[in-house]
Amino acid sequence: MLDIGCGEGEMAAWLSERGFRVLGFDWSHAAVERARKRFGELPGKPRFERLDATCLPARAEKFDILIDRGCLHGIPRTYGKAYVRSIASWAKPSAPFWLFFHTQSRQGHPTAADTSAGPREEALKYLEAILPAHFDIQQVTDGWIEDIPILVILAVARSC
């Protein structure tokens, strides 16, 4: 399982405890160091790497499940297509991709212009414009992370 923009690794660790083999990555050195320190590299524990989701290197290992909780919405929209192409290159055919995408900032205002978050309809339009190049959208649900409204998207990787 691939945890995209894993931050300090809480979700990767949670999934790992439930039997998933998880690679979490983040572009923040500090977050990856902290994740490694907290959750280690012992057998059965998640692995953590420092990588940029918009330009992942070629890799033989492919993943059965992809998850992004809170990463894509923070990436400027000009990098949206690169992100989708990049993460799809690490997915096995038909791998489900779970995306948790903020539609507003914590303060309840549309977030700054240099992130992808925005009002629900506009955010959904953006995701529907970038995902289908490599994923089929199966389900769109509304939800919350704490007090932040989100879109929960289930998409499935196409065979490349």
Ligand X SMILES: C[S@@+](CC[C@H](N)C(=O)[O-])C[C@H]1O[C@@H](n2cnc3c(N)ncnc32)[C@H](O)[C@@H]1O
User: Minimal distance in Å, beta carbon 24 to ligand X?
Assistant: 8
Residues 4-33 that bind ligand X (CB under 6 A): 5-7, 10-11, 26-28, 31
43 versus 109: smaller Cβ distance to ligand X: 109
Query: Strand pairing of 148-157 and 135-145?
Result: antiparallel
134 binds ligand X (CB under 6 A): no
Q: Which of 68, 70, 69, 59 is nearest to 92 (CA)?
A: 59
7 versus 46: smaller Cβ distance to ligand X: 7
Contact 37, 99 (CB under 8 A): no
Q: Which single residue is written with the structure tokens 């925005």? A: 118
Among 71, 87, 123, 153, binds ligand X (CB under 6 A): 71
Length of the chain measured in residues: 160
Would residue 9 be called left, alpha or beta, if left means φ above 0 and alpha means ψ between -120 and 50 degrees? left
Q: Which of 104, 77, 96, 82 is nearest to 139 (CA)?
A: 96
68 versus 157: smaller Cβ distance to ligand X: 68
Among 70, 118, 123, 150, binds ligand X (CB under 6 A): 70
Residues 74-133 that bind ligand X (CB under 6 A): 74-75
Among 22, 35, 54, 95, binds ligand X (CB under 6 A): 54
How far apart are alpha carbons 78 and 57 in whole angstroms? Answer: 19
Give residues in contact with ligand X (CB under 6 A).
Answer: 5-7, 10-11, 26-28, 31, 52-54, 69-71, 74-75
